[in-house]
Structure 1
Amino acid sequence: MRWVFLALAVWGAVHPMYWFLAYMNEGHGFGALIEAWYVNASTTGLAWDLTISALTLTLWIAWDSVTSRDWLGLIAIPAIFGIGVSCALPLYLFLRTRPARAALPKAS
């Protein structure tokens, strides 16, 4: 299942970015992309849905990393805001489900 999460993370990075870049290649800039998120009630709802999901995922990753003392999952936080939830959530699940490291032997 772990590798399914990784494949979904790659897909979640590439597929949405394809559409964002296609939109921007039509002559629209980043500002127009942000404005398009609020063009009607439907897109505004989706923008808020993703914003709340991003905030929730960020809080979960931070809390889980602190309580488990497993810091590698924090890599997914920049992915949330730099790429998107569609990449960051499966990336975090990929990192979180990795095999545990072997325990170090106790010093005698």
Structure 2
Amino acid sequence: MELLCDPSRMMKRDALTESLAMMADVFGDGMFASHVGGFFTCSEADSIARVLLLSGHRDEALTWLSCHADGDEVDDSHFTYDEDDPKDEGRVLNALELREYAGWLAA
């Protein structure tokens, strides 16, 4: 008969929660994220942000995405421009757009 409240499972869950909080502290630190965020591809940065979002660390995920996006250029995921306007040089996503993007990542 299987135990419904397996203590080893609970310990693993607590360790996972603690590890995710530590990860959020690292990637959600603006100084760290600013220094290394641009070295990650957009899909790598999105993967980290998604883990943070799904584990309840929304602010940290937004900090991470924002700092990563600072290095984005045309054709990167966190960069926008008007394709029909040749004068539009584009820009990285603003805070509102990043929050919307984060909602899409967490869905």
The normalised TM-score by structure 2 is: 0.31
Q: Which gives a bigger RCO, structure 1 or 2 (Cα 8 Å, sep 6+)?
A: 1
Q: Which has the larger helix fraction? A: 1
